[in-house]
Amino acid sequence: MSWHLVGKESHEPTKSVAVGDIHIGGSEIVVVAGPCAVESESQIIETARTVRAMGASLLRGGAYKPRSSPYSFQGLAEDGLKLLHQAKEITGLAIVTEVMDPRDIELVARYADLLQVGSRNMQNFPLLRELGRCGRPILLKRGLAATIEEWLLAAEHVMAQGNDQIILCERGVRTFEPMTRNTLDLAAVSLVKQISHLPVIVDPSHATGRWRLIQPMSLAAVAAGADGLMIEVHPAPDHALSDGPQSLTPASFHRLMQSLGPVARAVGRDLPGEKRE
Ligand code: PEP
Ligand code: MN
């Protein structure tokens, strides 16, 4: 097996990854929620308070945004990291945010608990190697057109440098289908759970591009064996500086969270704070 560090024998369980006091890959379904990008103090603090009250365990929000166009909003950079840190101090939520450049790792790691490698950087090998030495857990998103093997080998690059704290994130792959932003590959989630010990979470927001598909695809992801979800939530999606059409309002996020419990329990999982007897 060419990914011997991230692979496993079929009977071995997933090895959970700790982010602060949250364990991803155990019995609980962990929900990461927050806006695509950190836009302002009020936006991120309000979102953090809301998603925490509704059961999210981690706050997401990009400070360095990989945008297709150089003329789109690129993120608030270090100011965005400071706002995320402020949101953590207020709510206690652990922070996940993207790092795009090996030169920014030290700075981002000062503010964030979990460092995200975005889809566009899944095969940025110098970045992966540096993250393998950074001593922080990594959220590795699947590349836009990456095979499952390439995704696992990207994780292997991080692990080969000594960092085994890796969570994989399926976020859809590019196909011939234009009616959804990407095509959510749930078979990949079940397969990777069978052949690797790494926890896998699903991001239905980038996978579909449509807020109305987030709830059904989240339920399907949990049923398929995902260890968690990453959901874009914005207080006013119509005014979001990025990814508004795929962002949930607080009300629709609340409905999603309410609906997860029965599906989680049906596949032998719990939501945080809902431990079974
Ligand atoms: C994100 O999660 O902020 C993001 C940019 O997603 P992806 O890298 O999957 O496109
Ligand atoms: Mn986004």
For 110-117, which contacts have Cβ atoms below 8 Å and span 24 or more sequence positions? 110/81, 111/81, 111/82, 111/84, 111/85, 112/81, 112/84, 112/136, 113/19, 113/20, 113/58, 113/88, 113/137, 114/19, 114/58, 114/138, 114/139, 114/167, 115/139, 116/60, 116/141, 116/169, 117/141, 117/154
60, 108, 116, 140, best to mutate for ligand 1 pocket (most atoms within 8 Å of CB): 116
Q: Which of 44, 67, 37, 26 is nearest to 167 (CA)?
A: 26
pTM for this predicted structure: 0.97
Asked whether the beta carbons of 85 and 113 are under 8 A apart, the reply is no
pLDDT of residue 275: 53
Ligand 1 atom 9, closest CA: 119
pLDDT of residue 274: 67
69, 124, 151, 171, best to mutate for ligand 1 pocket (most atoms within 8 Å of CB): 171
56 alpha carbon to ligand 1 midpoint, in Å?
A: 18
72, 100, 122, 141, best to mutate for ligand 1 pocket (most atoms within 8 Å of CB): 141
Asked whether the beta carbons of 170 and 146 are under 8 A apart, the reply is no
Q: Which of 237, 230, 225, 178 is nearest to 206 (CA)?
A: 230
Q: Which atom of ligand 1 is nearest to the CA of 36?
A: 3
Query: Is the minimum distance from the CB of 142 to ligand 1 under 6 angstroms?
Result: no
Query: Is the minimum distance from the CB of 199 to ligand 1 under 6 angstroms?
Result: no
pLDDT averages per 10-residue partition of the chain, 277 residues: 89 96 97 98 98 98 96 96 98 98 98 98 98 98 98 98 98 98 98 98 98 98 98 98 98 98 97 67
Q: Which of 233, 237, 227, 234 is nearest to 270 (CA)?
A: 227
The continuous run of DSSP H or E covering 97 comes out as strand 94-98
pLDDT of residue 1: 65
The continuous run of DSSP H or E covering 30 comes out as strand 30-34
pLDDT of residue 277: 44
Contacts of 53 (CB under 8 A, 6+ apart): none
The continuous run of DSSP H or E covering 33 comes out as strand 30-34
**At 253, which amino acid appears?**
F
What six digits make up the tokens of 55?
């059961």
Q: Which atom of ligand 1 is nearest to the CA of 230?
A: 2
**How many Å apart are CA 24 and CA 18, to the nearest integer?**
6
